[in-house]
Structure 1
């Protein structure tokens, strides 16, 4: 009787372990970032692939980010950790993985430029139909979407006598009654929009500073309500920013600027990482060689 009971217990344990292994395989969503991953099993190893990154709103194919296997002390392996800030350096680090209450828990430990780091992340099971998360919308134009989703106009130079930026006119799906001109900047290679601007119709009246400020202030007052629950409204030496999990995700400007003697009121939303990635690609030093 005792022998039969022991056999049953062993079988149940094996079934339990097999079930746990099976539940690892599939698609997972990072609870903090909303990036999407997939775990596949090959020759006893579990491989973690990145399918979609919300950092640059980019789909990936077979981008291996980690690998682990079952040991007597749990699931152990590695994970490719990425520095949050530019230039987003990647480093191979040790990682442990654990299933708990239907969630996948990951702990990463490593060393970057002589400094030790440790962080934890939680993944939830992805739904059958995954809708990848893009950026914020402004006037119906969405950060991270490509320009072929919108009707565009000509390029114009924006700024003052000292410094001008090349932007492009866009005809937004949801124009605002108080704003008349809408401009965007987008990534040169991916064509993803990373900056959206809307300019006051009243700018044509050559507003003074106080007039312009008073018109724009109600929009500035509303910003905290608009982004409540998603971001914290903060500031740095460059201006206002939208912060999530302690990281500056967007630069936001709601106010007036003096340009060539006139005070111009506008709203601007700029995705920090996508903007910086475009800048780095445009200023990349050529690595090819030419004989001379």
Structure 2
């Protein structure tokens, strides 16, 4: 069973401890706590190369005021050429100013890293900061799920963060497609990191050729399926396609929409709803899940639809 450590989410704003450890070199890792919290704390030793950039100004100020600050900092990027360490000002400029990002001084501070991961004690504050940056920039910003507690509690439940729906029906069953899209969008509406996994005939929904035909319609009970997909992506939801299912149907990478991510043996550790045939569902319920070499029974909640 895949534990997800080989995949960095393309659209999701949260990453796991394993993903951060595996792709450590890709990230500028920022502890957003205030200086007095960071100073003598031992937690910072858990992640090598982490820098402290307090983000209280974003957490305590309104978005309107922050937009003014953003504009001001974009104008003063030339003034920070002497800065020898990562500060809030140069982090702002690094994110908002492409020209400075290509400068030699920027490369000395940040290297060629294209992503930023914000960290706090339990992930709550960092999530707020990440949401603000993702809403105001096109830069890839992420939150370490669970914050530093992810290192102390590696087996802790993550139900508040992860919401996964598996769909294995395509145009032959419009009702289940509509229900699956409703469920995954309900997760994003509640602030959860939501993922829709497409298997079997459902993978056609992620192809350009299928969308070009534009003949598939849901009943009036549901919003149009194209609109629901757009809503999922706008809230940083993730779309995963089963690699084997794509190969079985001879679907090439060029035919996949840009938001689709291929994954072999999708991570089903925290599944809540299985929209798949009953026989297959029973088989999956009988299996145990391996987590870091230890067996743990799956407690997935299933709904017959």
TM-score w.r.t. structure 2 length? 0.24
TM-score w.r.t. structure 1 length? 0.24
More helix per residue: 2
In our comparison, the structure showing a higher alpha carbon Rg is 1
